[in-house]
Amino acid sequence: MSQPVRRRPKVHADQAARPLAGLQRQLTQAVAAGAVLLPPPEPQPATGRTLGAASRRLIEAAVTIAAEPALLPTAYQHSVLCQTCLPYRRPAAGILTWERSNGFVHLSLTAGRAFHPSGHWVQMGLPFGPKPRQILAYLTTQAILQQQPLIDIERSLASFIRLMDYDNKGQTFRVVKEQIAMLAAADFRMGLARDSIAETHKGTFVSAFNLWCEKDDKQRVLWPRTVQLGAAYFESALDFAVPLDQRAIAALGHSAMALDVYTWAAQRLHRVGTSRPDAVSWAALKHQFGQGFTRIRKFRETFLAALRAVKCVYPAMRLEVGAAGLELYHSPPPIPYAVGRPRRMLARADSSRT
């Protein structure tokens, strides 16, 4: 059998408009050249030959990012949320608190209550799944780019739906609105423990919001039309937000774990020393990413699938998978930190106006 020609793939910026066959052909070239590592294929119906929506988004993002690496950040996420994570699935009824930790960073999240337009308090649930991760990154990004914490959700919701490449259906809008409301009502505690000293920082992602109720009795959902990020969260994000590639955030929207692995790798790998790799055991990885998994074998299988998806949109990520866990190697971040720090960008913007 002849070996595939290993040459640099020929890619273009308008991949989203290309036929599926063209995308698959160029992705095959990218895989042969080692530029892209594909995740396992999604199960397909016996009668269908087309890729699923998640695989197509991943292919398009992989080819586009390989062709046009981002030089400026198009998304931000707070560094604490890059090291800890929200629930993957809807918590069981009555579960109103959530705690995760990673090293000396600890996150405690409590579901809050919101005042209903009809005049009573409503207990909200905990945010869960891929969408609140994408929503928090979007809200944080909008606040940083606009240089102020007040965000008009009603105006920006349609843009967010398009940016994330969600299907433009009523159910999608309903789910997004529900997750925004739960994020807006939640309270958090961030704990830092180092050198026998423990610090607790408390606050909210959103300090104020207007809550509205849909008039459709069949699909009642509470959601805010405007939100104002908490002052402490906003100021902290200006100093500690991690610059990310929005194309990757959208492409990984099918998997909460893949989003967590991407943001974790984005803030972690560039801090690895250049002399030797950092080892992370499977037990440590399961503690961080394995919520809901009881068997390490099943977790490892799911984690490696998420890792391969992340490699598609973060091709500079360098690590090795072994029997004991991962070996992390120094890698450039998806967006250079030299240009990606929010305060530094805002300072440059202010100086350009004078």
In contact, 157 and 176? CB cutoff 8 Å:
yes
Low-confidence winner among 137-141, 159-163, 167-171, 350-354 (lowest mean pLDDT): 350-354
Strand runs (DSSP E) across 39-186, as ranges? 75-78, 97-102, 105-110, 113-115, 121-123, 150-152
CA dihedral (219, 94, 114, 101) in degrees, to 10, reads: -110
Work out the average pLDDT over 145-158: 80
> Contact, 157 vs 224, CB < 8 A?
no
Q: How does residue 180 score in pLDDT terms, banded at 50, 70 and 90?
A: confident
Backbone dihedral angles phi then psi of residue 202, each to the nearest 5 degrees = -115, 155
CA separation for the pair 22, 110 (Å, rounded):
47
pLDDT confidence bin for 197, thresholds 50/70/90: confident
Q: Beta 222-229 vs 150-152: how paired, if at all? A: antiparallel
> Which pLDDT score, from 0 to 100, does residue 18 have?
40
Report d(CA 263, CA 254) in Å as an integer: 15
Global pTM exceeds 0.85: no
Residue 248, amino acid? A
Closest to 179 in 3D by CA, of 197, 143, 205:
205
Cα 82 to Cα 76, 263, 266: the distances in Å are 10, 5, 8
